[in-house]
Amino acid sequence: MIDFELEPELAKGVSAARQFAEEQLRPISRYYDEHEHENPDELIDRMWELRRENIFSLGLDPAAGLRTEELCWGDAGLYLCIPGPALGGAAVFSSGTKEQIGKFLGNFNEGRPKWGAMAMTEPHAGSDTAAISTTAVRDGDEWVLNGEKIFVTMGKRALEDSDGFVVVWATVDKSAGRAGMKSFVVPAGTPGMRVEKMEKKLGIRASDTVTIVFDDCRIPFDHILGSPEVKKTDKAGTKGFKGAMATFDATRPIVAAQALGIGRAALDFVKEELERQGITIRYGVPRQSLTALERDIMDMEASYKAAKLLTLRALWMMSQLQPNSLESSMAKTKAGLAITKITQKAVEIMGPLGYSRKYLLEKWMRDGKINDIFEGTGQINMLVTARRVLNYSREQLK
């Protein structure tokens, strides 16, 4: 029998996250949705202290996924404000050496709140990450970066923090295609790197999303993650491109867990409202005898549970250092689809009240959709899944 019980210490962390979400995040959820770009300073300070106490440790394991779910049940946008290396840190772990991991991440639990970010997407290169055109040219003992990155999550906070950094994906040799793609750590305050624009978004509004421009931005030579060597004969791409994909293998299950939190918030709310109205969901009754409402609720629950099992599996494999490219893409895809279905159906069930701003349902529907888009769209993850299942190469299945 599969045992899903957590060890007491891990269960304590999940319970603490649930309490924090209920007491600290949910009450201010609407305020920061309506005051986009306003910084929740007091909340950030509280989250930083809890993170330093390892209560908000957001590692890559099933318990971390459960903590993420709880926090996003409170508010997904505010969850993304938690100080830490975030996606940039995952890139350093995936592509950097032990020395680089120690150098760039070793002090992230010290002092005041600090952030990391990752910059990959460009105006003309979204899902096709191999098409990036930001360049990195070696000049003696330095790299010179030029280009523009868009939709950088937490980019503003990372650049405003003197200890923050941004991991930038750039090409050192355009003629080499994916093999020329490398990642570079650019510390906050580096001349030539600036925030050009802050996005106004449909959802997760408490999280800043920015455009960053690199204009003759110089960084030390050893800030490249991995080897600077380019092997043009390597059709699969060198460690640079593979490092980017490994980063997503690590973080896509966490994105799936974010979706689970939002989906469960919507599902919990609808069930509580139905119960308040005296409507009982009859489990154990043949499907043909159920009402349409009962079938809807059960379908929503089934989608949520299927996504959760896939997410836990992908996270467990990561914690065991097992390759999880297929499983992480499956979890991300299923969670993105499930969250869209669950939140939209929740709004539909509640009717005009679900569409109004009286409740948070319409916000959860807006917040949820991003989980089907960022860190690899649902379509891209379906493509990755198909390639893995069919054992097809990128050239065989596009």
* Residues with active-site annotation: 375
Alpha-carbon distance 270 to 361, whole Å?
9
Angle at 152 between CA 32 and CA 90, to 5 degrees: 105
Beta bridge partners of 138: 143
Query: Position of tokens 């800030």?
Result: 223
Tokens of 199: 């996005």
Residue 208 and residue 157 in contact, taking contact as beta carbons nearer than 8 Å? yes
**Which value, in Å, is the radius of gyration of the alpha carbons in the chain?**
21
Alpha-carbon distance 57 to 75, whole Å?
17
Tokens of 116: 């990391």
Judged by DSSP in three states, 28 sits in: helix
* Residue 231 identity (one-letter amino acid): K
Query: Position of tokens 């949520």?
Result: 304
Q: Where are the alpha helices (DSSP H) in the chain?
A: 8-20, 29-34, 41-52, 62-74, 76-79, 86-95, 98-105, 155-160, 239-276, 292-319, 325-350, 352-355, 361-369, 378-390
Judged by DSSP in three states, 275 sits in: helix
Ordered DSSP codes for 62-101: HHHHHHHHHHHHH-HHHHTTS-B-HHHHHHHHHHS-HHHH
Alpha-carbon distance 191 to 366, whole Å?
36
